[in-house]
Amino acid sequence: MPPEKHNIQKTNRERRSLMNQQQPIHRRRLTRAEIRRRRRNRTIRRIAGLTLVVCVAVGGVSFLLSHRKAPVPTADAAGSAASSAASSLPLAAPSSKAESSAVSGAAAESVESRDNLLGLTAAEAKAMLADPLMILVNHTNKMPENYTFETAECGSKTAVNRTLQTVACNAFLELQKAAAAENVTVWMQSGYRSVSYQTNLYEKKTNYYKQQGYDDAKAKEMAAAIVNPPGYSEHNCGLAADLNSPEHTGLDEGFENTAAFRWLCQHAGEYGFILRYPKGAEEKTEITYEPWHWRYVGVENAAKINASGLCFEDYIAALQQIAG
């Protein structure tokens, strides 16, 4: 470095040092108010910092908790919650007494009792009684004059009356087909009978007993235990079928010893048929035991009747009691 330049820099440093020595720095003393204000500001900054840290920590915890998989409620818990929610809802007050009665009636119907012999509600019992397939025809219940229907043929070659109500005919043909698949033969020997035909049968049976020495009243009574009077026979409504098989062609109690009868006892209900005059029910049906006489009532009705263990008369009586 040239000597001149070095001397200039040295002179400048000496000048600045001399100036600093000649002008001492004077510091103003803080007042008490300023000291308190500075302390307060420092405190505020510390609190703000702590608050920020706490907020960040809480936010992080909340985020983690919100992203955890929620447990799936059980069916019981869901049902309880729904029930609690439903019970907490306010009910609108009916605007009139009539509406109040209607609401009460609807509520009563929704919880209608099934605590009875058949386990049915009154509405269900009424519906069954109104079913045309459930018509009761016996000694004391005549077939209504306006009970009309169509028939179709399903009888065997030797059948006396080869038709049934169309719905019963179709069901019997399905039954017959199912039995044949298990090597069991079932024939329909006698089905729908007109009232005039029934009259002829009843009169013949009455005359038979009169020839045995019974008076007219007693002969009719005894005949009615075997052949219902005209209009009082199930055969008149096209829903009754007298069945037999090659094993036993006679319409008598011998039919119960056949494979056909055993198959019917196990499967006839699946096609809507019930044994109409079972053993032990003679006092109720007023007809002697007839293992060959089967009645079509429909599949659902047959299942309920068979499950009850009641004969048809007792089942209808129970329905009437439930229906009110």
Write out the catalytic residue numbers: 290
The C-alpha atoms of residue 205 and residue 218 are separated, in whole angstroms, by: 12
Which ranges constitute the DSSP H helices of 23-134? 32-66, 75-88, 97-110, 122-130
The C-alpha atoms of residue 223 and residue 228 are separated, in whole angstroms, by: 8
b/e for 238-248, b at 16 or more Cβ within 10 A?
Answer: bbbbbbbbeeb
DSSP for 5-21, please give it.
HHHHHHHHHHHHHHHHH
The C-alpha atoms of residue 299 and residue 100 are separated, in whole angstroms, by: 40
- Cβ burial of 29 (10 Å; 0-12, 13-18, 19+) is exposed
Cα angle, residue 274 at apex, residues 271 and 278 outer, rounded to 5°? 155
Tokens (6 digits) for 151: 């028939």
The C-alpha atoms of residue 215 and residue 41 are separated, in whole angstroms, by: 130
CA 133 to chain centre: 22
Tokens (6 digits) for 90: 């306010």
